[in-house]
Copies of this chain bind each other. A is one copy, B any other.
Amino acid sequence: MSTTMHRIEIPTIMEVDSNILKNAGAYIKRAGINRVVVLFGEGIRELFGQIILDSINSTASLTLLETYDYDDIKIESLMPMAFSISSNTEAVIGVGGGKVLDAAKYIAFLKNLPFISIPTSTSNDGFSSSGCSLIINGRRTSVHAVMPFGIIVDIAVIKNAPVKFIYSGLGDIVSKITAVFDWYYEEGNRAARVNDFAAMLAKKSVNSIVRMPYTQITEEFFLKEMVDSLTMSGIAMQIADNSAPASGSEHLISHALDKILEKPQLHGIQVGIATYLMSLVQQHRYKRIEKFLSDTGFFDYVQTLQLRAEDFERAIELAPEIKPNRYTYLHTEKNRAMAKELLRSDNILNKILK
């Protein structure tokens, strides 16, 4: 029929469970891949190189072509790197944190190869999305790359990552609430078209975890839910074909902070704080967000960071220019004023920011 369904692409390999790093080779081979190149983030080879390389080498007719320790996300370095890897590579595997995953993802994109994402910490949804943060002309820039062909997350590994990465992941998840609300606001103002399935996924991903009972955030059942939610968030962007379902005004504040601060905090930490702030501006589900960020200990952790309210104030001013083509709550003067006012008047913000 000429009126066709909306067709979307999702990862072929999606494995999220405890102690599964040792199965990586089997998952990859089962998906039809025969020859791989592996990139490890800084210090990652020492921690997980053995188990992953053993898993690949012990898998029948799966060949390890090359391995690298690579963390460089400058595009002028990635380019020659991409065109220097073995010409018969069938997939590029990235193992580690955000930088090596972005590097491997972009190399796979340039070579038109499948990218397999093996995050050792999940501080944001980058491990499951097609987006990529590179340094272009000296500036951090978000560019399109490719959706992971495979996602392999070992919960036991995530559990043992520094707790700040877990807080960052939680901050990134809760942001779906304000992001989706911004998206509907944009549609209401004829500045965007909401993709209902993407919005539904984003909402389900956050609702299932913020409403979840748990004793401590490092219990595997809870971490699995977190990783599943971040994965769905990445896929929601893929379905929408843009970042709107996962990134609204709260992300603009974080992007602005990245420009302002000497040493920005983890993406999800900044986003989490901004999410609480924006939920007050939107007057939407702020109680739920406050409860979640309090109960999980997110706010207590933030308080130790000594962040300055004045930096957030400048970030709020800068926010709209970050994405001039969008129309979030922060794209109106009135809401920016309200946001800045809340930095002073809200008790929690007063407590966690200097």
Contacts and interface: CB of A to CB of B under 8 A. Distances in A.
Band of interface residues on A: 35 or more
A191 to B, nearest CB: 13
Interface string A206-217: 011001110000
B80 A137 contact: yes
A12 interface: yes
A3 interface: yes
Nearest to A235: B197
Contacts of A147: 5
Interface string A47-89: 0000000000000000000000000000110011001000110
Nearest to A145: B112
Interface in A243-280: none
A125 interface: no
A231 to B, nearest CB: 7
Given A3-B149, A5-B11, A136-B80, A204 B196 contact: no
Contact of A88 (B149, B208, B225, B325): B325
Contact of A33 (B3, B5, B8, B325): B3
B7 A7 contact: yes
A241 interface: yes
A113 to B, nearest CB: 6
A76 B76 CA distance: 7
A90 B3 contact: yes
A137 B79 CA distance: 10
Contacts of A111: 144
A12 B114 CA distance: 22
B241 A2 contact: yes
B207 A212 contact: yes
A200 B112 contact: no
A16 interface: yes
A59 B334 CA distance: 36
A338 interface: no
B207 A205 contact: no
Contact of A3 (B114, B141, B143): B114
A8 B228 CA distance: 19
Interface string A1-24: 111111111111011100000000
30 contacts: A1-B112, A1-B113, A2-B241, A3-B31, A3-B33, A3-B91, A3-B114, A3-B149, A4-B12, A5-B9, A5-B10, A5-B147, A6-B10, A6-B11, A6-B12, A7-B9, A8-B10, A75-B79, A79-B79, A79-B136, A80-B136, A83-B136, A83-B137, A83-B143, A88-B325, A197-B235, A201-B201, A204-B208, A211-B211, A211-B213
Interface of A: 1-12, 14-16, 31-33, 75-76, 79-80, 83, 87-88, 90-91, 110-114, 136-137, 141, 143-144, 147, 149, 196-197, 200-201, 203-205, 207-208, 211-213, 225, 228-229, 231-232, 235, 239, 241, 325
Given A200-B232, A201-B204, A204-B229, 20 more contacts: A2-B241, A3-B31, A5-B10, A5-B11, A7-B10, A8-B10, A14-B196, A14-B197, A14-B200, A79-B79, A79-B136, A80-B137, A83-B136, A83-B143, A88-B325, A110-B143, A204-B208, A207-B208, A207-B225, A211-B212
